[in-house]
Structure 1
């Protein structure tokens, strides 16, 4: 979903201009006197990505204030959106260190190319730059960003604590993703509103919206890790199973008729034959469909939170976005799953 598509969905013709302003600020943020930090940071930050979180910040600024185009290109809102994206980039660097990942989007990771120690420094540098930008906006934005970073760490820690645990509960899974993923969606939405000096009630409503949308986003991402292809994802399929991260589709599949067979392939670091068998069992279960149903429930929670905002095109666009994004990403990265669901529905 590119900026033009997002602009049309959100009813904000200025959105591409706002995102271009974010790109300019991202470029400035990675400038530093040490090439061994700047070059890998530049590779990560400017190497692509959907820029969904900055787009959310810009859209939420417009929806919360009714200022539409003016809010989208407001310099403070742009800085807040940039800070959020820098946290996203820094957290991905840290994730790659923890996962010992060799590639991301087909490009060597910093830990693979420059080494884990240098990757740690780059990740920390990006988080620090994010804090600096947030502090230039206002104290509220700085506090919201810091809270999100803390929640991100807590959520990631909760995930690590349940690695290879076949008894992991659904509530434990949701607690983890509420921190490791949804917290930054929340921050994008509330920071966009706070940077635009929206009323407190609007900031709170958009925090709820962002949290619920972020939960759905992670559930869908976890589904894709199980049903997509390496070509579509830019990384191997089934990484979560390899690393012992048992996501919602897996947890639900464990409760199904083939749960015992699936459990036999889990609970330890598996070989590739076990990964392939586990993927087949999950794909053949009701876990994937049930997980997508849960994602749509989260999307509905996000939309309900928007009732606190003044009516307008930006609010309507935000309401349409969660389900539109879910449908778009599934169609782009798991077309066979979409086709199968359509066939089943037509029976």
Structure 2
């Protein structure tokens, strides 16, 4: 299993301390994805071994620093729970999105087929449930609520907005459930089991809700602007599979006004056949050059600013500063 990539933290001593605990989380994660059945073991290790930034465990460990028991065993278990939940959701997401790559490697369904990928995701959810059970009833309730929101987010993304719904607002609600819910829970569980005050727990959870949406908006930009070795997936995958993203929704919104015929023409090409790589590349280039990409970045930046403002009640110091650098780094990826 590869070493996790961490985002920069404000204080070197804090960064070193958390890096050591991330290593412990990685050891527990390795155990959690191990199965006696060789097929299941290979498939369950597939995404864990492909790496990833381990953003959620990192946030759990950082939030725990707000209390007196940051090194508690329960904090490590909480970090494992959120990463297992995230990994499990990726197996399902990639099947639903027909994504060929994940973290620079073939998606599990490309290797073993949809049925195996879905069931391995279920098995990892089961392992997360078993781990969270050791943390007590409150953690189980939090995890259940998070899992419900993950499913609702995926469901609402699949069904799309209703006839009377605002498509952009619908999408933001999808992101809040599908992405931000687990990031908020990562911070909440870390603060809880790190011994932080109830006020601090709620503060970092609200912070997580904001940066979770900002993180996904940055990913929407990366799907258009980055190379595959940066984003870990084929550029334009979302376009080809007609997965909604903020730049495309903003473009559709503009095209509907009729103010610029070029917008409607680009939408028509987006809705056309993008199976040819050359056609996709040209549509990608035109969308990259459009103002909706800048607007998406600005929306992400505003959410990060709101998230940082929410941190005001926390005591000044390296932990608070690291929350700020954590948030900034998530959006800087798309700059």
TM-score (norm 2): 0.89
Say if 2:8 and 2:325, in contact at 8 Å, map to a contact too: no
SS in structure 2 of the partner of residue 14 of structure 1: helix
The 5 A counterparts of 1:26-65 are 26-63=29-66, 65=67
Q: Which whole-Å CA distance do the structure 2 matches of 1:4 and 1:117 have between them?
A: 34
1:120 is matched with 118
Q: Does 1:316 align with 2:316?
A: no
The 5 A counterparts of 1:110-189 are 110-162=108-160, 169-189=167-187
Say if 1:168 and 1:251, in contact at 8 Å, map to a contact too: no
1:341 is matched with none
The 5 A counterparts of 1:158-237 are 158-162=156-160, 169-237=167-235
Say if 1:141 and 1:195, in contact at 8 Å, map to a contact too: no
Say if 1:10 and 1:314, in contact at 8 Å, map to a contact too: no
Q: Sort the Cα spacing of 1:159 and 1:4 in 2 relative to 1 into closer, same or farther, 3 A.
A: closer
Say if 1:93 and 1:120, in contact at 8 Å, map to a contact too: yes
SS in structure 2 of the partner of residue 181 of structure 1: helix
User: What is the CA distance between 1:278 and its match in structure 2?
Assistant: 2.9
User: What is the CA distance between 1:37 and its match in structure 2?
Assistant: 1.2
1:124-183 superposed Cα distances (whole Å, 9 cap, x missing partner): 0111111111111122222212211111111111111129x9x96210110111111111
Q: Sort the Cα spacing of 1:260 and 1:144 in 2 relative to 1 into closer, same or farther, 3 A.
A: same
Say if 2:95 and 2:114, in contact at 8 Å, map to a contact too: yes
1:105 is matched with 103
Q: Which whole-Å CA distance do the structure 2 matches of 1:83 and 1:74 have between them?
A: 15
SS in structure 1 of the partner of residue 299 of structure 2: helix
- Aligned residues: CA RMSD: 2.3
Q: Which whole-Å CA distance do the structure 2 matches of 1:140 and 1:123 have between them?
A: 24
Q: Sort the Cα spacing of 1:104 and 1:2 in 2 relative to 1 into closer, same or farther, 3 A.
A: closer
The 5 A counterparts of 1:279-294 are 279-294=284-299
- Aligned to 2:249, which of 251, 255, 260? 251
User: What is the CA distance between 1:200 and its match in structure 2?
Assistant: 2.1
Gaps of 5+ in 1: 331-337, 339-347
1:270 is matched with 274
User: What is the CA distance between 1:269 and its match in structure 2?
Assistant: 5.3
Query: How many pairs align?
Result: 323
User: What is the CA distance between 1:9 and its match in structure 2?
Assistant: 6.9
1:296 is matched with 301
Q: Which whole-Å CA distance do the structure 2 matches of 1:140 and 1:301 have between them?
A: 28
1:70-111 superposed Cα distances (whole Å, 9 cap, x missing partner): 50x321001001100001100011112112333323323221
- Aligned to 1:13, which of 9, 16, 21? 16
